[in-house]
Amino acid sequence: MNTSTRTKPSQINSAVGTPITLTIAGSDSGGGAGIQADIKAISATGGYACSVITALTAQNTQGVSGIFPVSPAFVEQQLDAVFSDLDIRAVKIGMLSDAGIIQAVAKKLRQYQPEFVVLDPVMVATSGDLLLEEDAISTLKSELIPLATLITPNLPEAVTLTRTTGLNIDPSALQHTDVEGLIEQLKTISSSAVLLKGGHWEQDTFSTDYLITNSDTVTISAKRIATRNTHGTGCTLSAAIASYLAQGCPLTEAVQKGKDYLTQALSHADQLSIGLGHGPVHHFYAFHSSREQG
């Protein structure tokens, strides 16, 4: 009889010190956003990436032409596969296409209890159209946000999240004066930290984000980069933050380092020539720069 005991994932991976981050998101066939951007960002910032795919998209630099959701049951099967074998310290969550998938992800996060969860609430397209039905948004707020370490809404997504709080803001006419009200209302819907991203104000010289906790609000700014290659910026930022959390950085440091990484990826983005539309940021700018110098 074999009396050996199966070694736990944490016993294996802790020994080699590998910071593992799981990304749960949709696949971008064009390679610039979603799972593909997350894996690049996690790898480029020093982590190891594993993935659970929630939807397939027919997508390129010019837009999305089709979405094929993965069944909630198979999302659960993927989650069981990675959590049962890998010592996952941080999880980044992106596109979740319906309430059933949101519930499946929440169920498994409660079961496996990873240390850090970064939730990028992908709800509003650049056009302003909702990407999630109202019941899915409600499920996101009740099931997933309470499990998150950090949520990272952009300005239109923050408006959508706070719509039922009595704060009436037209997302197409957001003003800088609306930020204070958004910050206060975001505190009421989440005990998690919130990174409110201000990148939609394209006329500003600086891109300013607001890291909101129950005790403080920290402003994190970087010079705005003039480039058309901005596809996947939200995915990249949240994945980089999760990667730095998995590596042991405190929250504020992880957010600052994630912001710095994205700024550099944007500043080098025009070195790439990808597609006919809005191309991706340059995730591996540091590797390419060192190779050229060598």
Provide the annotated active-site residues: 197, 230, 232-235
The Cα 180–Cα 157 span in angstroms is: 15
- Number of CB atoms found within 10 A of residue 191's CB: 11
The Cα 266–Cα 268 span in angstroms is: 5
**Cβ proximity of 249 and 105 under 8 Å:** no
